Structure 1
């Protein structure tokens, strides 16, 4: 989208401390109790996890939860969490570890789940995001993964941040993967590198022939869009449009409508600047590059994302719900066709890592860090 279609930061964003623009991973002060009382929901603790990263509901109402150190748990609501064995070794550290978990569209008949994780390289200090699928078998004591197949890998590079590796199945039953740029900058503009891209594959890891760069072959054939930084939320709306949020540098967190074959500009342009203060040209200087539909300075540090389709919160119908790390909030985004803007911000007093919609339309949140709470939001 052109910059003129942007929804600029709202008054609530302006009220955040300026220091938040420079610290996506910093701990902000807890939200005050008076603001929390204004939230239109009751947050009830259901369980606790150690550094949880993602969750997804099973058809039987049980919940799969990933923990960064490499544990996959299954929780019976009202019961205890049990361990799923067979998870591959992960490269834990920084932003690395066990990441996303989603179900195959035909999970009820094939039992397949998809996981993402940081995987160590052979060279010291290197790692890369990996996506695999496996058969999930549940038992009375937890369960196991079998027939694990790796479908996709990032190259192994140094560093332990900006893996991305959020997963989703689209209405087309294709597998969509967010591949962040591992803080390497320029590869985001190189179609021969998977870093800084949105990747689209068939459910078995093969490449769809209708991808925009399919005829170029190699890595380029897997790419749907490029010029991205650190993509940590992915969701399709009711009109089958794909929305993804990504962390900016010092300022400029983005929410983007993803368009086929489009270049989103990183690191050529941004609504933020480098952490050392070096300015980055704004999107307005390059109208040929795709600008965000909404952006935040100071940052919210977005993590987790769902577009609400339930009936328990009628006012949220069709809205995007984003977890905020630095902002310690649940951020609601209102869509209007191809535009978006922050509508409300609900203080949670803790860093929010993940957001999911439950089977009956309740909203579920995972806090970030050790001894993190799983919260169920029910309407007041």
Structure 2
């Protein structure tokens, strides 16, 4: 059900020429919003290293290591070639669950193919200082087409160590989200080496891709594991309206483009709002907020946010905080940040880090006000 709660929060803009900002008063906490680091070319994804540093991808194809005080490295070498056009480029980054032992990381990206085509792919590699080695593509979409849109590209590991990968319908192939013989518009689940888990829903179906976990998605740019249930939560962009949050379950069909709460850009009906056998969203937005990045907040640092879901908004420059009752959104707060939010991550100390999708992209830090 669509939440009827929308709360106005106090907006702020970062003070010109400084890294400090006035306190941000939200419903549950007073926070400081500071500019932690800047000078990134459309940063897309952030992952914390065990020593307090972080990895940040830039869509143009650069991976950087950022120190605990905000200094960014020279580009990490060994990154796979990307087709950085439109929405494509270097996308998600995530650490292996055993990173402390194996130094493995995973990158999603738009992989160039033949004749100006591209596809979503995921590579694993070993991080050695400021270089990647042993780079190996462990997943690539079966289809490569000439499109600059809807790559998906978010990554998360399940508690059991399987890797979930999100994809999109590539814009021009929306009907393929309903087809099981390809990877467009799907949640993918593979093992850390790219092999297929034996309990995936389509491993016994010769007409379906065995990597598929769920289907009928448009463009998934958020995925997170629920801290209590271990379930895989996702969000996806709708067309004009109809952005969705779902709990991705094996073999379930989430309806795109047969059902949606959105419409064609400029107007026009797409499918219908509901249909037997197709999953309804847990939550949806009309108008669209253009969601990107998503995480559960589990730290004690920000009082009242425990087990809330945090979602970035590209369209409105907001951080959206969702309170949950089971698998229902019981309350929504929109916190004005003032820049396109591409990713949302929680640091080990409980601070919330945001990536802004700009030519001069920034890492912003939300922490309890002093």
TM value normalised by structure 1:
0.89
Question: Is the 2:201–2:212 contact (alpha carbons within 8 Å) kept by the matching residues of 1?
Answer: yes
Query: 1:7: how far off?
Result: 3.2
Indicate the residue corresponding to 1:84 in structure 2: 76
Which stretches in structure 1 are left out of the alignment for 5+ residues? Answer: 1-5, 16-29
Indicate the residue corresponding to 1:44 in structure 2: 34
Indicate the residue corresponding to 2:93 in structure 1: 101
Query: 1:288: how far off?
Result: 1.7
Provide the C-alpha distance between the structure 2 equivalents of 1:289 and 1:282, rounded to a whole number of angstroms: 11
1:240-279: per-residue Cα shift (whole Å, max 9, x none)? Answer: 1111000000101101111121000000110101114221
Query: 1:9: how far off?
Result: 4.7
Alignment of 1:1-380 (within 5 A): 6-12=1-7, 37-39=24-26, 40-48=30-38, 49-82=40-73, 83-124=75-116, 126-138=117-129, 143-154=130-141, 155-183=143-171, 184-217=173-206, 220-238=209-227, 239-284=229-274, 286-380=275-369
Question: Is the 2:83–2:112 contact (alpha carbons within 8 Å) kept by the matching residues of 1?
Answer: yes
Provide the C-alpha distance between the structure 2 equivalents of 1:149 and 1:37, rounded to a whole number of angstroms: 44
Residues 223/90 of structure 1: CA separation in 2 closer, same or farther (3 Å cut): same
Provide the C-alpha distance between the structure 2 equivalents of 1:287 and 1:302, rounded to a whole number of angstroms: 27
Residues 192/342 of structure 1: CA separation in 2 closer, same or farther (3 Å cut): farther
Which structure: greater helix fraction? 1
1:164-195: per-residue Cα shift (whole Å, max 9, x none)? Answer: 01111011100100011101111100000100
Residues 92/219 of structure 1: CA separation in 2 closer, same or farther (3 Å cut): farther
Provide the C-alpha distance between the structure 1 equivalents of 2:210 and 2:342, rounded to a whole number of angstroms: 31
- Shift >6 Å, 4+ stretches: none
Residues 51/235 of structure 1: CA separation in 2 closer, same or farther (3 Å cut): same
CA RMSD of aligned residues (A): 1.9
Which stretches in structure 2 are left out of the alignment for 5+ residues? Answer: 14-21
Query: 1:79: how far off?
Result: 4.8
Question: Is the 2:218–2:237 contact (alpha carbons within 8 Å) kept by the matching residues of 1?
Answer: yes
Q: Count how many residue pairs are aligned between Structure 1 and Structure 2.
A: 353
Provide the C-alpha distance between the structure 1 equivalents of 2:364 and 2:253, rounded to a whole number of angstroms: 37
Provide the C-alpha distance between the structure 1 equivalents of 2:102 and 2:24, rounded to a whole number of angstroms: 44
Provide the C-alpha distance between the structure 1 equivalents of 2:59 and 2:207, rounded to a whole number of angstroms: 31
Provide the C-alpha distance between the structure 2 equivalents of 1:265 and 1:135, rounded to a whole number of angstroms: 38
TM value normalised by structure 2:
0.91
Highest relative contact order (Cα 8 Å, sep 6+), 1 or 2? 1
Provide the C-alpha distance between the structure 1 equivalents of 2:302 and 2:268, rounded to a whole number of angstroms: 43
Residues 299/9 of structure 1: CA separation in 2 closer, same or farther (3 Å cut): farther
Indicate the residue corresponding to 1:18 in structure 2: none
**SS of 1:375 mapped into structure 2:** strand
Question: Is the 2:152–2:167 contact (alpha carbons within 8 Å) kept by the matching residues of 1?
Answer: yes
Question: Is the 2:95–2:105 contact (alpha carbons within 8 Å) kept by the matching residues of 1?
Answer: yes
Residues 121/236 of structure 1: CA separation in 2 closer, same or farther (3 Å cut): same
Indicate the residue corresponding to 2:18 in structure 1: none
Provide the C-alpha distance between the structure 1 equivalents of 2:155 and 2:33, rounded to a whole number of angstroms: 26
Indicate the residue corresponding to 1:19 in structure 2: none
Provide the C-alpha distance between the structure 2 equivalents of 1:300 and 1:42, rounded to a whole number of angstroms: 24
Provide the C-alpha distance between the structure 1 equivalents of 2:163 and 2:208, rounded to a whole number of angstroms: 16
1:267-305: per-residue Cα shift (whole Å, max 9, x none)? Answer: 011010111422123333x03200101100111100011
1:332-380: per-residue Cα shift (whole Å, max 9, x none)? Answer: 1112112224521100011111100001111101111111111111112
**SS of 2:214 mapped into structure 1:** strand
Provide the C-alpha distance between the structure 2 equivalents of 1:345 and 1:79, rounded to a whole number of angstroms: 27
Residues 240/79 of structure 1: CA separation in 2 closer, same or farther (3 Å cut): closer
